[in-house]
Amino acid sequence: MKRRWQMGFLAFALVVSALWLPTSLTARAASSGLDGHESSGPQTISASVDANSTSTDASPTGSGVAPNPVPAPGNPAGSGTDANSSEGTNAPNAPAQDRVVRVLVIGSSVARGWKDPKGGGYLHRTFSALSALTPITYDVIDKAEPGKGVLSIRDTYVKWLETYQPQIVCIAWGGLDDLYQHTPFRVYDEQVRWQIQEALDHRAIVMLVTTPVSKASYTTYRAAQQALMESEIQVADSFHNPNVYVFNLFDQMKAYLQAHHESIQPLMHDSWHPNARGHALAAELLVKDILAKFPVTAPVFKAGPSTSSGHTEGGSAS
């Protein structure tokens, strides 16, 4: 009797199992499908966000000003403040692809941005504005030094060109330090010529920017500074090279003040240096001039000298 009961229970269990198993498998399959759908949702969203993040990270950010040097070739990728990869460092003359243009600035106190602590000076304001207004981010390597004249970088300039590999060299001497130090015009011109030539030899675009005006431009050094600015423009023009751009900010700023019947005094911190308002006006005029002469994607170095004066003729007009 006991054996018959066991056999009957086993048969009943087999029937129940046969009925339950397909239902269970179907339910689990449906559940698995639902779970798969639900789990794939966040993964898809996460992948989308990551893709967007990657795209965002690939685009340059920031103000366009990099106060610290770009690492020298051979430094580990990602070290320092290099906005490009190490590959970009080895190929400095492709700004349209990298969307980052390195600018080496040489000059003295006004180029450095003295008396404009928040704005960083007219050149930093200019390149920050260009970074915002164009598809290009301008990374500024600022080697301007207060109190120094054109002779002060004889031993370091070529090393900077080799180390930072700038696509643009911005030559922005104020002239007042050299006039105060009685640097002969001939020596001043020779140094500017050498600085332009070295930049070209290192396949860099040259921006010769005459200085913003100061109170001294109308008083102590009225004739001398005007003559010095005109002289360095003539030096740049003499290259007849499309890679050399001249931006005559000195005369443009004078013309602006005259046209608007404004005095230089409200724009000055002292006799030699603009205040923040003066730097802002200089940057506004310079940005306008650059946008008129540079392509939107920034100029690319043109190999081989040109027989025409290129961009310098237009730049030397006030």
The answer to whether residues 235 and 189 touch, using CB atoms and an 8 Å cutoff, is yes
DSSP state of 214: -
For residues 94 and 212, membership in a common domain is answered with: yes
If asked whether residues 7 and 147 sit together in one domain, one would say no
Asked if 97 and 238 sit in the same domain, the reply is yes
Residue 17 sits in the same domain as residue 153: no
Query: Are 157 and 40 members of one domain?
Result: no
Query: How far is Cα 142 from Cα 104, in angstroms, rounded to an integer?
Result: 6
Query: How would you write the pLDDT of the chain (318 residues) with one tens digit per residue?
Result: 444 444 444 444 433 343 333 333 333 333 333 333 333 333 332 222 233 332 333 333 333 333 333 333 333 333 333 333 333 333 444 444 448 999 999 999 999 988 899 999 999 999 999 999 999 999 999 999 999 999 999 999 999 999 999 999 999 999 999 999 999 999 999 999 999 999 999 999 999 999 999 999 999 999 999 999 999 999 999 999 999 999 999 999 999 999 999 999 999 999 899 999 999 999 999 999 999 999 988 899 998 754 344 444 333 333
Decide: pTM greater than 0.85: no
Cα 220 to Cα 76: distance, rounded to the nearest angstrom: 50
Q: Are residues 11 and 85 in the same domain?
A: no
Domain count, the chain: 2
Same domain, 37 and 157: no
Closest CA to 141 of 190, 61, 72: 72
Tokens representing 206 are 């040259």
The CATH number given to whatever domain includes residue 305 is: 3.40.50.1110
Last residue of a domain, one of 58, 83, 102: 58
N residues, the chain? 318
Quick one: 159 and 305 in the same domain? yes
257 and 125 part of one domain:
yes
User: Are 237 and 286 in a shared domain?
Assistant: yes
CA separation for the pair 95, 83 (Å, rounded): 12
Domain containing residue 278: 63-315
Contact between 175 and 137 under an 8 Å Cβ cutoff? The reply is no
Q: Are residues 99 and 245 in the same domain?
A: yes
Q: How confident is the model at residue 189, as a pLDDT?
A: 98
Q: How far is CA 263 from CA 13, 215, 252, 257, 267, in A?
A: 105, 10, 15, 7, 8
In the chain, the amino acid numbered 217 is S
One domain, residues 72 and 159: yes
* Both structure tokens of 110: 């006004």
